Structure 1
């Protein structure tokens, strides 16, 4: 096997891979060097195929590796001419489009990229821009996203705004409205005369910062996680080393580029192999029309691999397979717990096994992967090469033996450099904020390990709610509800949901004499929570909210109640008479359903399989 590509087909290959140090494998110095290598090896091979939108998948835009590199050079040279230097940040806020892909790589070549979720509130976006120090924003123009363009005027501190056009747009665009004191223009138009053959300044090195990704899709105070060039390249190689990812692979990309999965899994990793990536329309998996056309798209482009969250596979499992999808053999899933029912239904529906994985932004992207040839029940996967995982006792970092549950920690070349907390004359100030200890990352997740390096998650040490792969900080919901003068206390938790994995719900205690109804509170939250996805599905009024012996908020009983309500509603829809009891143990919730002995238990079990919670079914004596 080559120095760059060892045998990596199953879990038993891990030890042999690691006999050769990662430094000896000759990885590219930076994401730019990775792209330049691909363009030198496969200049005429198609690198990206971008669909204008789901309904127009027969009208794609193609770029070869040589063409992609030329666009990156033009965009990076423009950024350099506008004053962007190695330690300067370029923010990017746009739905996916053909121009966003080279723009992201160009930002990492000229300076540091900071992809932003345009769905965040103006206050959150302004906070992220201020913390990063970004003075240049690359964003969707009015043709691509009128709503996103309208938000640009609400952002402060910018020197230049470069607008992106829709994929395949032709003709001369309408002049952009002026913003006082800000340089405004279309990115491609302004970069048209820049040098396509080389970058005009020094190239990034492995220790340079490549990107700042904000953590979570909906957080009250998003943090900026700093990635180095070396971390991104190493993590992309760990994924590309998979024997099933080859030069003939065609990868479907439909997650937004502000998500680390989109960058590392569906952009950087394919660059290593010279694979083609098919980018879905601007909204990707968030566009309902994509699912109607998805199997035809798979057949037409002979897609072999895809990456998505459990919610996507749940929807696809309900879409009739109206095309030849025999090319699809690698379906990766992560970002949220995978319910058994989703796994089994998708595989039965398509014949394709889901390959579960695990990762987080602070770990650059991916830390564990599964193997269809060697399934490990209950595990999210085996650690990737050159990463080290350990389980430690909460609060002490004392390492625990195999089989014991504690906080999962990660170390290795993929661990982030820290959170951006400020900036001084020397550059950005980075701080682990308690998450880093001697190079080890506290993931905040509870887990146990087996001797083969497989990770078995056991819940979250933090209270984040994961809705369809997006992290929601409960504080966002709680702060919004507490802003109502009649609300005395508020607590938000995740409620199991068959479609999204979890949805947020809230519990409140009201002031004496309050007249609010639960419907009033839902309406208030929908109006005041910064992002729609975080608005609670339900708000329940209690006399008092549970607290610990020392008076701190205690969410476990609320999570148990949320689970019980979800199960009761599910069984009521089946018209099954059952008794539902919920028990809690070490921050975990378990459900027991007792039914009449004359009833068949299959329907009840199938219903409960939709949820990623521990459950059991018993026949009433």
Structure 2
């Protein structure tokens, strides 16, 4: 079946000049509807395959050690593959409103499975490292009919989890994904009663690659992403095709990158950033994406190879979380990386120390962004060079509105004057369709009323917005702990600890970690007479573990205090606990270096939204260099104190 070519809008309508903050006003003089964006992610793929059939769409690396052995697909290959998988899903009665669960690290066939799920029904990607019972609950809420998961060659433990989930949910089919570059027939797969079990590549191989007979429309649901939500509780946030296409267009409209640009992808596809920034957005411009191996940025060997990868594939841009750039700031550049135009960073606050160190090491400026799952992905972008706005996470993206309000004790939103600090609200075509609350005859039932009013989304973040639309974050309203870019609700940790018979109070915060950015720890108070055997750190951690569904949320340490801090009006506050935690981290690093230091010489102070640690400057230059190297592994701000005279 031959599909007639899609009419193309004039280039200046689809791709306006967008290189400086002043571009925003000119862009919005053209109505979004007049830009003739593709209606769905499937239409984005169809357009790319028709315009650039022989252009490389994706290159997947099997792993960091095999970085020269990538497998490449053209845009024509990608569309044919998506159409075959879509036909397979339709054979299992997947249609509009029906969900396909995706449970796998990144591998060559996963993007095609994702796009096919969105073309036929709804994709529900889930972090495969969550416990089986938690995955089951999420996919049960999504009402997944088909499950695509990492097969036994790719992830043996993940395959065992997927089989458990598939059996519990009685899915129609369970399809296994193979490692990138796997050849020949896959290993035999043990059957499941009532469920088709097969390798996805083999099952789809003989099916026609004809275009989808009933492609999705702009308002159809495209995906359900599990998220901590703006209130911290685990939820499924529903995205429409419009949400994803508009947000992807806003990102790729960046004038720094053109059709010949190549993007590096290292985040997992259960992350909205990976989907929108490194899958859908590049398809709009016909760009080439190089995907890291299944571990992505979590593969230690990647860091010693990344500059060579950038040189070989002429990478123009990459997207990662601050901890990735914190590591790369100290990896010697051993290749020609002149192709890099910029590096995007988001998911958590970017310390100036990381920004400065990365740029000093590489010559590449970091371009900070801001977003959340409930607003699809990105809401703001920064600029480099003279247009960078220090202290801001970026200017609002086109066709998105932002403002701040005061939320009173009854939950009312009270208007604030322009520039006043308050709770940040977002409105526009990227605001999600709502959280899944149930299912009806045509698909998921949604409710976003708790966070969206008159189209305005309550982000839960404290901020101020300047006259040019730049967002200045002032704190996280719900104090989420961000571990490796993933949100952990401290309330879940606190509730788990408060189930202990002797714990009378609990407050969880993030402790700096050189690899994950933050890991959770908790401070507790105990009832008088609490037995030591039941209230040591190890015992309290073990108790919390039994109540927490996500392994990443289990606290690394539990510290007993006489009382938990409160504000002058008696409300609990985490700021003193964060200051204490940062200070202790710095003290621990100094001790590990064998440098003696009085605890009162290491201090933490609050500077606007940021906490900064100050450590004594040693007389020995070599010791100062050792301290710089040790503390430079973290993403918090720190400085040397001036020597006392």
TM-score, normalised via structure 2 length:
0.89
Deviation at 1:612, TM superposition (A): 4.1
SS in structure 2 of the partner of residue 235 of structure 1: helix
Name stretches of at least 5 consecutive residues in structure 2 with no aligned partner: 1-10
Shift in CA distance, 286/584, structure 1 to aligned 2, threshold 3 Å: closer
* Residue 296 in structure 1 maps to residue 315 in structure 2: no
1:513 maps to 530
Task: Measure how far apart 1:585 and its partner are.
Answer: 9.8
Between 1:344-353 and 1:210-219, the stretch displaced more is 210-219
**Where does residue 205 of structure 1 map in the other structure?**
217
- Listed one character per residue, the Cα deviations across residues 366-415 of structure 1 (whole Å, up to 9, x for unaligned) are 01111113111111111111111111112432332333211111111111
Output the CA distance in 2 between the equivalents of 1:51 and 1:25. Answer: 35
What's 2:3 paired with?
none
Q: Specify the alignment match of 2:376 in structure 1.
A: 364
**Secondary structure at 2:347's aligned position in 1?**
coil
Out of 424, 438, 444, the position equivalent to 1:422 is: 438
The 1:174–1:583 alpha-carbon spacing in structure 2 relative to 1, beyond 3 Å, is closer
Kindly indicate whether residue 241 of structure 2 is the aligned counterpart of residue 229 of structure 1: yes
Cα distance, 1:461 vs. partner?
A: 0.6
Whole-Å Cα distance in 1 between the matches of residues 441 and 354 of structure 2?
51
Question: Could you tell which deviates more after superposition, 366-375 or 396-405?
Answer: 396-405
Partner of 2:197: 184
Paired residue for 1:58? 68
SS of equivalent to 1:398? strand
1:248-327 paired onto structure 2 within 5 Å? 248-327=260-339
* TM-superposition CA deviations, 1:299-341 (whole Å, max 9, x none): 1111111000011111112222121111112210000111111
1:461 and 2:483 are equivalent in the alignment? no
Q: Distance in 2 between matches of 1:308 and 1:591?
A: 23
Secondary structure at the counterpart of residue 35 of structure 1: helix
SS for the counterpart of 1:415 is: coil
One of 78, 82, 87 as aligned partner of 1:68: 78
Secondary structure in structure 2 of the residue aligned to 1:393: strand
Give a deviation string over 1:457-511, Cα, whole Å, max 9, x none: 1111112101221111113323443455554443211234455433211112334
CA distance in 2, matches of 1:394, 1:113: 34
User: In structure 2, what is the equivalent of residue 329 of structure 1?
Assistant: 341
Gaps of 5+ in 1: none
Relative to structure 1, the CA distance from residue 104 to residue 202 in structure 2 (aligned partners, 3 Å threshold; closer, same or farther) is: same
CA contact (8 A) 1:590 1:615 kept: no
Q: Which SS does the other structure have where 1:268 is aligned? A: helix
8 Å CA contact 1:136–1:161 kept in 2: the answer is yes
State the secondary structure of the residue aligned to 2:319: strand
- Report if aligned partners of 2:493, 2:553 keep a CA contact under 8 Å in 1: yes
Q: Give me the TM-score of the superposition, normalised by structure 1.
A: 0.93
- Whether the 8 Å CA contact 2:229–2:235 is kept in 1: the answer is no
In terms of mean alpha carbon deviation, does 547-556 or 360-369 score higher? 547-556
Which of 388, 397, 421 lines up with 2:401 in the alignment? 388
Matched, 1:141 2:151: yes
The question of 1:15 aligning with 2:31 is answered no
Q: Are 2:176 and 1:194 aligned? A: no
- 1:108 counterpart residue number: 118
Instruction: Give the equivalent residue in structure 2 for 1:579.
Output: 601
Equivalent-residue separation in structure 1 for 2:267 and 2:292 (angstroms): 9
How many residue pairs get matched? 619
Partner of residue 173, structure 2: 160
Distance in 1 between residues matched to 2:37 and 2:81, nearest whole Å = 23
1:217 touches 1:472 (CA, 8 Å); kept in 2? no
Distance 2:631 2:406 in 1: 32
8 Å contact 1:503–1:537 — kept in the other structure?
yes
Partner of 1:442: 458
Per-residue deviation, 1:540: 0.4
* Residues 1:171 and 1:591: Cα distance change in structure 2 (over 3 Å): closer
Instruction: Work out the CA distance in 1 between the residues paired with 2:231 and 2:297.
Output: 21
Higher mean C-alpha deviation, range 390-399 or range 403-412: 390-399
